[in-house]
Structure 1
C-alpha cells in the first residue's frame, strides 16, 4: 500500500489546457476532418461509378457503334469511311450520363474517331490526376466493330471520362468545402462568446499574482460566467479570512516582540542595578582588604588581588551581557550611531576582515520596534557570518526611501553549517521579526561563495505604532553597598 501511495504521489499533474484554444483547435480539426473524409468518399464513389459504367455499358456502346457504322453501308466494305462525319452521334445523348470516352481505330490500327462526352467546364488538374491514379490505366473496354455478315471493319476502346467525373466531383467537393467553411464560421461564433466569458481569467491571474506577492487585500473581479463568479466569491471570502488571521498573527508577533524587548530591558536594569552594584561593592571591599593587607598582613595580598581580578572580569562580562540585552546608545544616539559602534567593535576584534557600513536616508526616526529589529538583524547577521565562515569582507547596507526600508548584509564567507541555509534559530528569529512587521525576509547565496541577508520593510512598518508593556513598580534599592569598607576607612582615618 505504501508503494502504491508513493506511485500515486509521484504521478505528475495533468498538463494545463487553454479552453479557448482547445475549442478552437478541436472544432477546426473537426471541420477539416469532415471535409477530408467527405472528399475521400466522393473520390471513392466516383471511382466505383466509373468501374461500374465500364462493366455495364461496354456491350451497349458496342451495339450502338455497330448500328451507326452499318447504317446505310455496303455489307462487304471493310473500311470505316464516313464514320468521321457521323462523329458517334448515337452516343451523344447518353454519353454525358455515362462519363465515357470512345476511341475508334480501323483494321489497320489507324485512329478514326476520339470523342469524350462532357461539357466544357473547369475541373482542377490535380483532381483529374488523382482520379486517374485511383482508376488506373487498365480500366477500359475493348470492342470490335463489324459489318454483316461478320466482317471486322475496326475496333474501339471505351475509357472513363476523367474530365467529366472530375467536374462532377469538383462540384460536390465545393459543396463540402462550403460546409466546412460554415463549420469554421460557427467555430468563430462560438469562440468569441467563450473568449468574452473567460476574459476575466487574466484579471483573476493578476489578482493571484498580487496575493502571491503578499497583497492579501487584493480581491477577485466578478465575471459574468456564473461558475467563475461563484469561484471568485469563495476565493474572496477565503482571502478575507486569511487576511484577518494574518493580521491577528502579526499583532501577536508584535506583542511577543514587545514582551521580549521589555523583558530584555527589565533584565538589563536588574543586572545593572543589582548585580552591578554588588560587583562594585565587592570591588571596593577587595580594594580595602588589599590596602589593609599591605600594612598588617602581606600574606593576604595574593588572595585580595585575586578577588579584585575576578571581580573586574565579572564586571567586564556583565558589561558585555548588558550590551547584548540592550545596546548602549541605541535610544540615546539613534540607529545610525549604534550600527557604527557595532561595526567598529567587530572591526577591532576581527582586523583581518574588512567591515563596511552604508546608510542612506533618515533612519534615526523610525519606530522603536523597527529600530530594534534592524539592529538585532544586523547583530545576528554579523555573528552568523563570522561564526560559520571566514569572510574577507562584510558589507551592511541600510536604505530608507519612499518605497520603505531595505537592509541587506553580505559576506564572502566560504561555508555555513547545517543541512540547509536558514534552518538555525537565529535565522528563524530574524524571519519572525521581519514578518511581524509585514516585511519580506530572504537568505540568498552569492556566487561563487558567500551569503546575503535581505530584509525589506514596507512603508507601513516605518510608522507602525509600538507596543509597550506597562512599566513595573520602582526597583528596590540595592543592599550591596560597601558599608564595611567605608566604616573601617573612617576608623582608620
Structure 2
C-alpha cells in the first residue's frame, strides 16, 4: 500500500469513527430524554393520585372513585409510552398506553433489533402512591423499545446521510491534497531506484516543503559521498589488481628466465646421459630415461604455470585467440564430459592491454569454477560490445546447465575466492557483476563494464 492511500484510509477511518461517536452521543441523548419523560410522567401521575388520597381523607372525595384514571389520561403520553398503576402485590390496577405510528415514521427492523440487543430496556420510571405511610400502589412509566429505537433512528438517520456525504467529500479532498503534497515522493522513489541500479549520477531537485527538501539535500550529499567512495574503492581495487598482475609478471619472468632455463639444461643433460648409458652401462638406461621423463614433465607443468600467471598469447595473438585457446584447453581436459564454447562480437581487440588481461582472468576463473563445481554438460562464454545511449560497454556472460556453486544460506550473495577475485577485477574496470542461479536452470555470470575503462596495469 502506498503512503498516499494509507493516509487517505486513516483519514477515512477517523471520519467514520467521529460519525460513530456522534451517533452514540445522539443515541445517548434520545435515551436520556426518554428516561426523563418517564420520570416526569410517573412523578405527575403519582402526585395526582396522592392528592386524590388526600381529598378522600378530608372527605372531599369518595374512596370508590380511587383511582380517578380519567384524570390521569388527560396527561400527554408520548407515542409508545405507557403508564401503569400497580397494586401493592404487583398486579396491574390501571394502565394507559399510546400507540406507535409505524406507517408514516417507519424505522428499519434491523436497527430496532440492534437497539434491543445492545441497549434494550424500557427506560422504566417508578413512583409510589401513598398517604400517611400507607402505600396504596405504585405508578410505573415505560417506553416501548421499538418506539425509542424509532425515535433514535429518525434522529441519527439525517446525520448518517449528511455524514456519509461529508466523509465522501472529505476522502476526495484528502486524496487530492495528499496526492499533491506527496507528488515529490514519486521523484524520490525514482532516484532511489536508479541509485539501487548503480546510477550514481542520480540527484534530487529542490522542493518547496522543508521536510522533503531536507531529504533531497541529505540524499544528494550521501550520493556524492557514495560516488566518491566508490571511485576511491575502484581506484584501490585497480591498484590492488595491478600489484597482483605485476607480481604475477615478475614471478613468471623469474620462472621463465631461471627455472625454465635450468629445466631445459637438465632435460638436455638427461638425454645425453641416456644416450651415454646406452653404450657403456645399459643397466642404468631405465634410470636415465626416468630422469629425462621427469624433466620433461616438469617443463610441461612449468609451461602451464607460466600460462596461468601471464598468458603470452594475449600480447602476441590478441584476446580472442587467447580465449579460444583457453576454451580448447578446457575441452581437451573435459574429454567430452563438458562442452565449452565461446562467442564474441564487436571490437574486442580494441580494448587496452590491461582490460584484455582482466577479461581473460575473469573468463579463466569462471571456466575454472564451472569445471570444478557446475557438473554441467555445456558451458558457454559470450563476449559482446554494446553501443547505446549510455555509451560503449562490454558485456561478458558465462552460463552453464549444471548445478552451480552452493550458496551459504546465511549469505545473500555467492562468495568464494574465485568470485571475490572476479569482483575485484570488475570493480577495477568500473563495472558491475551479477552471479547466481538462472531461472531455466544452471548458473550464470554477467559482467558489464565500459569499453574505455581504466583497467590498471596488467
Which residue of structure 2 aligns with residue 424 of structure 1?
416
Which residue of structure 2 aligns with residue 212 of structure 1?
196
1:244 lines up with 2:228 in the alignment: yes
Structure 2 portions without partners, runs of 5+: 51-64, 85-95, 127-139, 387-392
1:355 lines up with 2:344 in the alignment: no
Which residue of structure 1 aligns with residue 445 of structure 2?
454
Q: Return the match for 1:395 from 379, 386, 390.
A: 379
1:44 lines up with 2:34 in the alignment: no
Which residue of structure 1 aligns with residue 134 of structure 2?
none
Which residue of structure 2 aligns with residue 320 of structure 1?
304
CA–CA distance in 2 between the matches of 1:57 and 1:99? 18
CA–CA distance in 1 between the matches of 2:123 and 2:282? 140
Q: Taking structure 1 as reference, are residues 394 and 330 closer, same or farther at Cα in structure 2, changes over 3 Å only?
A: farther
CA–CA distance in 2 between the matches of 1:254 and 1:131? 80
Which residue of structure 1 aligns with residue 14 of structure 2?
27
Which residue of structure 2 aligns with residue 173 of structure 1?
156
Alignment of 1:171-320 (within 5 A): 172-173=155-156, 176-177=159-160, 180=163, 184=167, 185=169, 189=173, 192-291=176-275, 305-320=289-304
Q: Taking structure 1 as reference, are residues 370 and 36 closer, same or farther at Cα in structure 2, changes over 3 Å only?
A: farther
Summarize deviations over 1:82-131 as a string: whole Å, max 9, x none.
xxxxxx99989x7488986899xxxxxxxxx997699x964535567777
1:374 lines up with 2:365 in the alignment: no
Summarize deviations over 1:135-158 as a string: whole Å, max 9, x none.
7679699xxxxxxxxxxxxxxx99
Summarize deviations over 1:280-311 as a string: whole Å, max 9, x none.
33444444455555567767756654543333
* Higher alpha-carbon Rg: 1
Summarize deviations over 1:190-217 as a string: whole Å, max 9, x none.
5543443233233323322222222232
Say which SS state the counterpart of residue 329 (structure 1) adopts.
helix
Structure 1 portions without partners, runs of 5+: 1-15, 64-77, 79-87, 104-112, 142-156, 470-493
Summarize deviations over 1:243-274 as a string: whole Å, max 9, x none.
10111111121222233223333433333334
1:438 lines up with 2:423 in the alignment: no
Does the 8 Å contact 2:399/2:444 carry over to 1? yes
Q: Taking structure 1 as reference, are residues 418 and 349 closer, same or farther at Cα in structure 2, changes over 3 Å only?
A: farther
Does the 8 Å contact 1:42/1:173 carry over to 2? no
CA–CA distance in 2 between the matches of 1:101 and 1:330? 110
Q: Taking structure 1 as reference, are residues 189 and 60 closer, same or farther at Cα in structure 2, changes over 3 Å only?
A: farther
Say which SS state the counterpart of residue 349 (structure 2) adopts.
coil
Does the 8 Å contact 1:43/1:131 carry over to 2? no
Q: Return the match for 1:405 from 395, 409, 433.
A: 395
CA–CA distance in 1 between the matches of 2:398 and 2:196? 22
Deviation at 1:422, TM superposition (A): 4.2
> What number of residue pairs does the alignment pair up?
414
Deviation at 1:335, TM superposition (A): 3.4
1:124 lines up with 2:113 in the alignment: no
Does the 8 Å contact 2:343/2:383 carry over to 1? yes
Q: Return the match for 2:454 from 465, 485, 488.
A: 465
CA–CA distance in 2 between the matches of 1:299 and 1:117? 135
Deviation at 1:366, TM superposition (A): 5.5
CA–CA distance in 1 between the matches of 2:9 and 2:146? 41
CA–CA distance in 2 between the matches of 1:278 and 1:130? 105
CA–CA distance in 2 between the matches of 1:340 and 1:377? 14
Summarize deviations over 1:439-459 as a string: whole Å, max 9, x none.
3334424699x852413214x
Does the 8 Å contact 2:404/2:443 carry over to 1? no
Does the 8 Å contact 1:204/1:221 carry over to 2? no
TM-score (norm 1): 0.65
CA–CA distance in 1 between the matches of 2:221 and 2:122? 76
Does the 8 Å contact 1:434/1:441 carry over to 2? yes
CA–CA distance in 2 between the matches of 1:200 and 1:206? 10
Does the 8 Å contact 1:123/1:163 carry over to 2? no
Q: Taking structure 1 as reference, are residues 451 and 431 closer, same or farther at Cα in structure 2, changes over 3 Å only?
A: farther
Kindly report the root-mean-square deviation, in angstroms, between the aligned alpha carbons of the 2 structures. Answer: 5.0
CA–CA distance in 2 between the matches of 1:279 and 1:161? 118
Q: Taking structure 1 as reference, are residues 136 and 61 closer, same or farther at Cα in structure 2, changes over 3 Å only?
A: farther
Larger deviation, residues 346-355 vs 327-336 = 327-336
Deviation at 1:464, TM superposition (A): 1.2
Does the 8 Å contact 2:35/2:125 carry over to 1? no
CA–CA distance in 2 between the matches of 1:413 and 1:163? 75
Q: Taking structure 1 as reference, are residues 319 and 363 closer, same or farther at Cα in structure 2, changes over 3 Å only?
A: farther
CA–CA distance in 1 between the matches of 2:257 and 2:446? 35
CA–CA distance in 2 between the matches of 1:267 and 1:115? 114
Which residue of structure 2 aligns with residue 384 of structure 1?
369
